[in-house]
Chain A
Amino acid sequence: MRIGPDEPCVPGLLSAYPSLAARLPGAALPWLRRRRDAAIERLAARGLPTTRDEDWKYTSVAAIARRAFGVECEAVALDEVRAMVQRHAIGGTRRLVFVDGRLVAGLSDAGRLPAGARVESLATIADEGGGDAEEWFADGADGADGFGLANEALWRDGAWIDLAPGVELDAPVHLLFVTTRSDLAVFPRNLIRVGAGARATVIEHHVGPDGAGYLSDTVTRIVLGRGARIAHTKLQQEGRKGFHVADVAAEQGQDSAFVSHAFAFGGQLARAAIATRLGAEGCEARLSGLYVGSARQHIDHHTCIDHARPRGTSRELYKGVLDEAARAVFNGRVIVRPDAQRSDALQSNRNLLLSEEAEVDTKPQLEIWADDVKCAHGATVGQLDADQLHYLRARGIGESDARALLIRAFAADALAGIEHGPLRARLESLLPGALPEAV
């Protein structure tokens, strides 16, 4: 579908920018201002992606383009937000809470950090001068689409996590992004740098009320030093009318490990691009995901695993459970560059369709340029197994319980590798299907 230049979304963002620019974080930093200006220019030229763009072929963002979103933050009723934060809090974590795009210190508690660890508001860092961040503060956004450009121009806050070499964060960092208002666009931006041998677990969590039609346009950049490890869990629970467009990209140093879990439950239209570049020898990337859709939800995951150097290992498993008229897109790109000999890549996407109207477009996209590699992929789309269902019923388990049990069993292995107990318990409570009772 063609998105015309007269659709209100992009013009609204462009016209808001001139008066906003001087008040955005880091406005005093010339290099940052130049980046924002350049991004807004490119956004004006490029607009939002359309289904003519290969990466957006199955996901039309016309419903976003048609809406005029405001970008000004208003005062929020903290009492209402507090209840939401309590509901979504995860025990045993260091928590930063962002409401309508900005950190709320009163709801946040990063706890006592070990020496060499910084967990801060990105806006604060920018206002303090940006530290040494210029070279990685924003990626060269030439390849970014309209959503990436809008984020780069208009971001107001996000997390800055910087771990010096060897630092290990004992508790996960929980970044909770709450959007409270309809017709608001927020642009969280997170920058995470894990130094050589350092380790971190980060939970990036997006929530909003069910009735609000807002846009959450997020960017997360991760840089892993030699031997560093990050476990990044993205938990998307936007409100049922919310729009969510996310871009997570990691750059991996030698022998580093990028572990990504992506759980998508909410939103009327949700898109997540998750990419990692195995940019040095001996990297490991583990990507897993679970998307659960019902009603008329549209959930899109585009992943890219770029084996750029030798001896990299990647493992990817995405699962989907789709009911009613939900639709999902999975595009799993794996690149093995000519240099990346002895790469080992496995990809699997499995989908369970629970209704006649549910639909999934699944596409593995393997680009192998080296010869000494092991690569395999598989995709399945199926329904509940009639033999399994009958077997359970023949043991006295009622049909709806049996269905719930099988749905649950299908989805449950998306939790493999989630180590933090309270996060695991939360995810278990969000899984589709159910256990009739616990053993």
Chain B
Amino acid sequence: MLEIRNLHATVDDKPILRGVDLDVRAGEVHAIMGPNGSGKSTLAHVLAGREGYVVTQGEIRYLGRDLLALAPEDRAREGIFLAFQYPVEIPGVANIYLLKAALNALRRHRGEAELDAVDFLSLVKAKLRLMEMDEALLYRAVNEGFSGGEKKRNEVLQMAVLEPRLAILDETDSGLDIDALKVVAKGVNAMRSAARAMILVTHYQRLLDHIRPDRVHVLAQGRIALSGGPELAQELESRGYGWVEAEARQPQAGVAGGQA
């Protein structure tokens, strides 16, 4: 589904990604871990098409197409969803309005009829129950005055409504207490399917106690320094990132492809 080859990217002319290779197939859940500043969030933003993140080398193919040629909205319409680390507050735009506008944009793109108000509302309410969210949040402005946990749940709610092919969750676990983490994990697990791929970007292993990944990658110095199975996350939890970073600093050391 997603093939990243030798991806180099800069932010404000500063090189952040320096040769990322990654393959993600439908049905798989990949975790991308790494210390602060390793480029995890940059990778997520590059996938979503954020302005200011400049790809200087390499390519990304998504469903066989050149992803980098697509505008952010076209990526979303093609099924890419980024759950933001810092969801944006949009005063004056009701949450339910955003959900409906986004869903209908996707449906129009796929040549499907827009949902009418009744069908839309029953869909959203089912997803609200999954995320254990209060219906009142639908009618508030997008993320405005939401607690940190509410914002993260709201991201997963959007994901549940939009049913992406490729979901990227950028530090969705950060700032969550254990109860909220469980709810978020439940929402994400409910969406696992053979047709859908997920990339979990996280600093800590604890999210992976609740969402078991198929593959774990460690990003260090702008490259994937190490890849392995779920047990790698546990090793990182006990040993920290220092040893991976030390190896990554060695020229050519420890570079491994996503799918070894």
> Which residues in A have some Cβ–Cβ distance to B below 8 Å?
385-388, 390-399, 401-402, 405-406, 408-410, 412-413, 435-437, 439
Contact = CB atoms under 8 A, between A and B. Distances in A.
A436 B100 CA distance: 10
B49 interface: yes
A401 B72 CA distance: 13
B105 A397 contact: yes
Nearest to B100: A439
A390 B51 contact: yes
B49 A394 contact: yes
A413 B92 CA distance: 7
Contacts of A437: 100-101, 104, 114
A387, A402, A437, A439: residue with the most chain B Cβ atoms closer than 10 Å: A439
Nearest to A411: B92
Given A385-B88, A397-B98, A405-B93, 4 more contacts: A394-B49, A399-B71, A406-B93, A436-B101
Contact of A398 (B73, B97, B98, B162): B73
A409 B48 contact: no
Contacts of B91: 409
10 contacts: A388-B88, A391-B84, A393-B71, A394-B84, A395-B102, A397-B98, A398-B73, A398-B105, A405-B101, A437-B104
A392, A396, A398: residue with the most chain B Cβ atoms closer than 10 Å: A396
B162 A392 contact: no
B153 interface: no
A408, A409, A410, A413: residue with the most chain B Cβ atoms closer than 10 Å: A409
B125 to A, nearest CB: 14
Contacts of B72: 390, 393-394
Contacts, number: 81
Contact of B76 (A387, A393, A401): A393
A409 B142 CA distance: 11
A395 B158 contact: yes
Interface of B: 48-51, 71-73, 75-77, 82, 84, 87-88, 90-94, 96-98, 100-102, 104-106, 109, 114, 117, 141, 158, 162
B97 A406 contact: no
A435 B105 CA distance: 13
B78 to A, nearest CB: 9
A439 B73 contact: no
A435 B90 contact: no
Nearest to B109: A396
B87 A391 contact: yes
A397 to B, nearest CB: 5
A396 B84 contact: no
B92 A396 contact: no
A409 B93 contact: yes
Contacts of B101: 395, 397, 401, 405, 436-437
A391, A398, A436: residue with the most chain B Cβ atoms closer than 10 Å: A391
Contact of A397 (B50, B73, B117): B73
B82, B101, B162: residue with the most chain A Cβ atoms closer than 10 Å: B101
A393 B76 CA distance: 8
Given A393-B76, A396-B102, A399-B73, A387 B97 contact: no
B73 A396 contact: yes
Contact of A386 (B51, B106, B117): B51
Contact of B96 (A388, A405, A439): A439
A388 B84 CA distance: 12
Contact of B90 (A388, A396, A401, A439): A388
Contact of B162 (A395, A401, A436): A395
B207 to A, nearest CB: 21
Nearest to B102: A395
B162 A390 contact: no
A396 B106 contact: yes
Nearest to B79: A396
A439 B28 CA distance: 35
Contacts of A387: 88
Contacts of B77: 396
Contact of A393 (B73, B90, B92): B73
A409 B109 contact: no
Contacts of A394: 48-50, 72-73, 75-76, 82, 84
A391 B92 contact: no
A157 B71 CA distance: 57
Contact of B92 (A397, A398, A402, A410): A410
Contacts of A391: 84, 87-88, 90
A406 B50 contact: no
Nearest to B52: A386
B93, B102, B109, B117: residue with the most chain A Cβ atoms closer than 10 Å: B93
Contacts of A409: 90-93, 141
Given A406-B90, A408-B92, A409-B93, A396 B51 contact: no
Nearest to B121: A439
Nearest to B164: A396
A412 B162 contact: no
